[in-house]
Structure 1
């Protein structure tokens, strides 16, 4: 289906690079005596992990409400009242579902008519629990790509223990079994794209030299059914120093196109169009998002683009006739241009309408754009506000007569409003409520406000405060400050039954910071805190903490911080830079050794965000915040809990292991917990997720409100 070329790969870009079994460990050095902890499955390293886990679990399970929280979280996660979110494939809506009976999950389907009912009749396609038992594997669902318009044949991706590396196998959704002699690939970082019913484009580990330095596929081959993989024909190659190579196929009748691409870094790609048997290099800013939509072309800019006397600003969305563009014409209509408070968060397309998701001071709005009488016309959709909106098309461009050609799904949520899913049609503000998540906690008295802090350089940084019932600005509220601040990822309001039951209703305050490095105000907001300017993310986060204290929302002895992945780096850095502001730190699946991050799993693909530590001038700024290199004996630090996963093949668990080991050596007494399964999400099923959440909340309560 047509889609943004760049949105093809967020999962790959933020995913792991190499199989865990391929992890290697450099010899220990005086500068880093803990390199042995990078040996993911090594006996010595795992013995260290088990010892730390036991110590941490003993302390955290002693919290009186630990068992109650864990059981409550498990009930919420297993609840049959959750919204079964769906994706359309032809005449069916597909959903992946977990509950108490199906811990690994069901891949199932129904019709729209059934889905409208309070209790739809679902048809099971794959029972992952049964499959895992039959094959004696710890399978975790990783998705499926199906060949339309009948969607009978699907390329199913199965992960061992939640890792990003997957096994790919062709599945027949009518016969409900894997296809004998069908497409099948062993565990690897793989990309598969259907070309026709008997041909796929494949990028995987073909052997030495076939992967980039970042560990992603470097070579794309055309692979025919029944053909040995070794005989597949190479059709495109990236360079070893690139991040990855990819193929994207648009099979819309009358607009068939294939685009090959090579990503030189996280944000820049070179694209080559294959159409009518000819290849054409697509000239456009290399950091722009690029979408073919029938006879139109959409370009979303991440930097200013000067064409003649016109400069299109970063964050704009441009549209033009695709055929004219390929012929060299450069005439555009701007469908969106950013302002100081508005940015484009995403887009989706029906057959004839473009749906824009716009952030207005971190609150979502929807717009529709259509061509009429040769001109583009805008309509603002009257939708719930302020909160988080989502829009996704139900149109299937492979169907000749599609009854849902102008239909789309709308989601809405905010901190106090449970998620809802609505069916909408373009040109109308009328929506049909399909599903709504129940309220899992009593929000009476809970209130939300948006505030702004002033960062070190004077920048206004927004943040949300979710107040517990009856909470007052007296400096005594147990408060958790959450942030991310990287990769242009926005932190929008969400409804959390976990926070509701274990935090708000128990007297806790949640703060979500919209710091630079995120995408809340478009590409410029992100780019203001990358590479040499990454410190601005940390300054912004500290500024929010200072504002919370100044406004007496909390005080240092009651303030904790939390972040995961890039957010784990955030809280690790700020913990060391401003330890006087905090009492507790929850550091999840973090990057922490920024001198070696680019040598571990997917790390090399993130150098466009952080810089290259092998270059002296770039290590000069990275070294100032890298937590592993900056922790010292004698520092008075807040208590920290590190959590990670052995099966995280995205951010190497060695980051958290080594940081904890170094801090233990220096006398800081951190807590450490590593789940054996779970991948980058930290948990492989609902039981593991509930347990991990209970450990983290127990830690926060023990540190921020010990009297409880």
Structure 2
């Protein structure tokens, strides 16, 4: 759910006791008891029998369509292309990359030197073969990355997930020897966070047994675990509360030897309480609760503010969206009277997005009216922050691919709807870039253009959106159009190059629209906060206004207009499906939240109360009932025939929402397609073939609904 993805489809953008959810939902006499609680038994025999029957029924139509096989083959060719960009991870001068293809279904971790990486054919060396490991362990492992010791970064914890779940198994691995460490650290399956203190010590938050998980299903007890010590003898050093989202520890380092251990309580999804580890135990730091620590540079803690902040004893209020620094040694002496130094201040159009640390510099990306920008900040001899702008072309998104605090090298990735993604090697000391690798064109864009337009929402707010279309379309309402958005959790949606979208939709005559609705972070924290909790209808009005604007311009019509979204974007699709069924002829609802009166007890739902509100608050409960797609389904309404997609192994949002929504449609004799695959977690599939099939099924559906 949380996410940092720019694609509207399937963000890798997220339990109160079941009895509480069920009783609370039934207490209002205007609502009917929930008939489909039995589908909340995720792997139960009855539930899975229903899932298998619905899968089979839908596959007989969609996968039997002769276009499905062609689309699946085309998508797989794009996803497995040997020329796609090998995303770099800089680790002390070497480049690591995780790669999947036809020969490596579950993937390999491989490495090469910087010099070799910059050549057309790098000399890769396999470090971990996840297919071989899965076969050896008889487990369907999905790799979830490395968590490495600093400095040196040779000892790492390899994260392995069974089928793509958020719950992971961690095993110690030595990058120098290329082997798992015999007798090394092993942490059994759990939702867990781990940070290295030194080569023989970890700080671990995980399921320690009864009473150690929050209502969201995440750990809130942090323990210190020494090498060779039985796990059950680890010593507790920090504790949140059961009502928190989670609690964990992090370790900050910089190239000049400064080091700090921080403990964090996630009070809710957006607010956190931070404590500094001291000889006398953790001491709370008076940073604003809506802020994010980005790292440590030159003894300065880098902090992004998501709310206005007037520090204790200060007469100055720092605006939300600012990036500031705090002197670590000053914080050690006084955790209350903090004296931040401004690094970046937002404008009415430009807002910070990502911040990352190199050896001597801070790298910052921003959005300037949804245009990507990048800067290098440096702390000069007078302890002031200066900046240099990095030259990035307009109409491209920019993301930080990787930095390495042992050097000033970094990689940026630039991308656009029609511009193949490029990796640029940067030097933070000079704020310069040079081309490293560019993805070859994956579809014919010669007759396509991108334009940025805007719609006016119900309350008068201007909502920008991007359109990718053929340059010579007819404005007669006949163009098949697919529109997506996310609209939550301060996630910014920006242009991205997608070979699958290009081959399976744009090249075949479709239009693609991406709406920058409220709830996202495109215009800073305030753009997000405008749609929080009981204000959320603004988000749904924004989306509908873009759809109406497309029709008013005669770019498309309700007959030819389809919408797509995943996770929180799946909730958006469900709301638009129930509130404006007449506006769309196709609705793709992916890994969604849909039962908003019950979401708090489903999977990790309780962690998102900060975004959606809670049924324990009467006003918020009333609003949730008014927008909850599951509860708003009406047997007397004519709905478009949706495609609902989820995965059994999604332990973040869970498959329950999708199942119950489909079951109620079935009860009301409303047509729908349903697809629930087993693996994949909160995503489109655990491997490239599964992902290709998922996308092919969705574009087969969209073809039938919008192009035929």
Q: TM-score, normalised by structure 1?
A: 0.93
What is the match of residue 309 of structure 1?
Answer: 315
How far apart, in 2, do the equivalents of 1:526 and 1:25 lie?
A: 27
The answer on whether the counterparts of 1:15 and 1:602 sit within 8 Å (CA) in structure 2 is no
Aligned-CA RMSD value: 2.2
Q: TM-score, normalised by structure 2?
A: 0.93
Alignment of 1:287 with 2:290, yes or no, is yes
- Equivalent residue of 2:153, what SS? coil
Q: 2:300 aligns with which of 296, 299, 321?
A: 296
Alignment of 1:539 with 2:545, yes or no, is no
What is the match of residue 328 of structure 2?
Answer: 322
How far apart, in 1, do the equivalents of 2:227 and 2:408 lie?
A: 35
Change in Cα spacing, 1:433 to 1:337, as seen in structure 2 (3 Å) is same
The answer on whether the counterparts of 1:15 and 1:164 sit within 8 Å (CA) in structure 2 is no
How far apart, in 2, do the equivalents of 1:496 and 1:365 lie?
A: 21
Shift of 1:23: 13
Change in Cα spacing, 1:295 to 1:251, as seen in structure 2 (3 Å) is closer
Change in Cα spacing, 1:380 to 1:172, as seen in structure 2 (3 Å) is closer
- Equivalent residue of 2:627, what SS? coil
How far apart, in 2, do the equivalents of 1:622 and 1:187 lie?
A: 34
Q: 1:338 aligns with which of 343, 346, 357?
A: 346
1:144-543 superposed matches below 5 A = 144-252=146-254, 254-275=257-278, 279-290=282-293, 291-307=295-311, 308-328=314-334, 330-374=338-382, 375-392=384-401, 394-397=403-406, 405-428=407-430, 430-468=432-470, 470-543=472-545
- Equivalent residue of 1:525, what SS? helix
How far apart, in 2, do the equivalents of 1:202 and 1:552 lie?
A: 56
> Over residues 107-129 of structure 1, what are the superposed CA-to-partner deviations in whole Å (9 max), with x where a residue is unaligned?
11111011111111111111111
Q: 2:588 aligns with which of 575, 578, 586?
A: 586
- Equivalent residue of 1:617, what SS? helix
Shift of 1:309: 3.1
- Equivalent residue of 1:359, what SS? strand
- Equivalent residue of 1:438, what SS? coil
Change in Cα spacing, 1:331 to 1:203, as seen in structure 2 (3 Å) is closer
Shift of 1:17: 7.5
What is the match of residue 402 of structure 1?
Answer: none
After the TM superposition, which of the residue ranges 441-450 and 351-360 deviates more from structure 2? 351-360
Alignment of 1:49 with 2:67, yes or no, is no
How far apart, in 1, do the equivalents of 2:326 and 2:178 lie?
A: 43
Shift of 1:429: 5.5
Unaligned runs of 5+ in 2: 5-10, 27-31
How far apart, in 1, do the equivalents of 2:648 and 2:626 lie?
A: 28
What is the match of residue 98 of structure 1?
Answer: 100
> Over residues 632-664 of structure 1, what are the superposed CA-to-partner deviations in whole Å (9 max), with x where a residue is unaligned?
101011110100000111111010000000011
How far apart, in 2, do the equivalents of 1:669 and 1:336 lie?
A: 52
- Equivalent residue of 1:306, what SS? coil
Change in Cα spacing, 1:347 to 1:275, as seen in structure 2 (3 Å) is same
Shift of 1:47: 0.8
Change in Cα spacing, 1:500 to 1:16, as seen in structure 2 (3 Å) is closer
How far apart, in 1, do the equivalents of 2:81 and 2:661 lie?
A: 37
How far apart, in 1, do the equivalents of 2:467 and 2:676 lie?
A: 30
Shift of 1:427: 4.8
> Over residues 221-270 of structure 1, what are the superposed CA-to-partner deviations in whole Å (9 max), with x where a residue is unaligned?
00011111111000000111011111001244531210011111001111
- Equivalent residue of 2:550, what SS? helix
After the TM superposition, which of the residue ranges 514-523 and 80-89 deviates more from structure 2? 80-89
1:620-639 superposed matches below 5 A = 620-639=622-641
What is the match of residue 8 of structure 2?
Answer: none
Matched residue pairs, number? 686
The answer on whether the counterparts of 2:540 and 2:575 sit within 8 Å (CA) in structure 1 is yes
Shift of 1:26: 6.7
- Equivalent residue of 2:66, what SS? coil
- Equivalent residue of 1:543, what SS? helix
- Equivalent residue of 1:681, what SS? coil
How far apart, in 1, do the equivalents of 2:200 and 2:85 lie?
A: 35
